[in-house]
Amino acid sequence: MKPEACSGRTLAFLGDAVWSLLVREHLIENGRGKGSTLQKESIHYVSARAQASFYSQLHEASFFTADEEETYKRGRNSNAGSVPHSTPVAVYRSSTGFEAILGALYLEKNEKRIRQIWDTIRTVKER
């Protein structure tokens, strides 16, 4: 399946799973919590606020390609249906755009680029 054949929302759905798996692997590999605290630790990476912040930092550094920016816009502009009450709409849409990038890269089988995004964010996050 090609990313172009998917809606921005579908790409974000897939990207959410890709990102969650990266975060969970990282936390477990680095002994960053036990079963009861893993979810709390993961929120620092997978919450809408965190993802929107990651996107913003990388965008400001001109990290993303033009194609990735277009995918971001597709995800950001897609109809989200419902937005969590504790999250501003703009933040939620930005995080959805970020997830769409990851979903598209996954469909393109571009694990190298996904890892590049992950490694960059992990480095920024752990400073």
> Length of the chain, please?
127
Distance between CA atoms of residues 25 and 29, nearest Å? 6
Interhelix angle 48-60/66-77, nearest 10 degrees: 150
Q: How far is CA 100 from the centre of its chain?
A: 7
Known catalytic residue: 16? Answer: yes
Catalytic residue of the set 15, 16, 92, 106: 16
Give CA–CA dist 85/108, Å, rounded. Answer: 33
Residue with tokens 């504790």: 86
**Residues annotated as catalytic (active site), given as ranges:** 16
